[in-house]
Amino acid sequence: MTLPAAFYDRPVLEVAPDLVGCTLAHGDTAGVIVETEAYHQCEAACHAHVGVTARTHVLFRAPGTVYVYRSYGIHALVNLVCEAEGIGAAVLIRALEPLAGIRLMHERRGVAEEEQLCSGPGKLTQALGIELDLNGTDAIAGPLRVGPRPPEWEEVGIVIGTRIGITKAAELPWRFCAAGSRSVSRPWPPGFTPAPRRRVAVPREG
């Protein structure tokens, strides 16, 4: 099951929180989206703010298009293009809770903690094997697939904060986190408290 193009053909500030709890899959790996940020051509932090260029033209394409770019020369960051064709807007996927292909994610990431496999925008693309060759592909029928919220995520709470790692338009509260998820990236937004770490019963003396 894949979300239709119409899901993305709405204001990016509606799509970004609605994507929290949905699933993202690539190859044999998948996760539940637990953190997103909205970007729109009207504000300076959005790559589309400079208009249509070789880098940004994908942001102006049809809703549901995948935008992947390289950050700091090292990491690939993945976005889903929103709003009508001709408007530059997208949702940055910032964190996932791993669902499938977890063994492969561990191999790609080289970390032991499952919470750290996809707890950042560069981490999740590494875990899912998302690279720049996916830029311009289609999130409805392409290799990257976005599915609706599983039943247990239907009533996920959203904690809102300001966007991370930007200098321009940094005051806008356009970051959306799944309440309680331990896979949300740092720093946590105000009012966010992670659910208690799952405990393993340990026999004690006494």
Partner DNA sequence: CATGGGATTGACT
Partner DNA sequence: GTCAATCCCATGC
Give me the residues paired with residue 175 across strands: 37, 161
- Cα 21 from Cα 155, distance rounded (Å): 9
Interface segment toward DNA; rule CB under 7 A; list 7-15, 72-80, 136-144, 198-206: 72-80
Output the six-digit token pair for 189: 């937004």
- Given a contact cutoff of 8 angstroms between Cβ atoms, the answer to whether 183 and 119 are in contact is yes
CB of 72 or CB of 103, closer to DNA:
72
The whole-angstrom distance between residue 176's C-alpha and the CA centroid of its chain comes to 10
Closest CA to 158 of 59, 65, 20, 2: 20
For residue 42, state whether it binds DNA (rule: CB under 7 A). no
CB 108 within 8 Å of CB 126: yes
Stretch that binds DNA, among 6-14, 41-49, 137-145, 194-202 (CB under 7 A): 41-49
Q: Which of 11, 28, 42, 71 binds DNA (CB under 7 A)?
A: 71
Q: Between 174 and 193, how does the x/- string for binding to DNA read (CB under 7 A)? A: -----------x--------
Q: Which residues bind DNA (CB under 7 A)?
A: 37, 39, 45-48, 50, 53-56, 59, 67, 69-75, 77, 79, 90, 92, 109, 111, 116, 120-123, 132, 163-168, 185
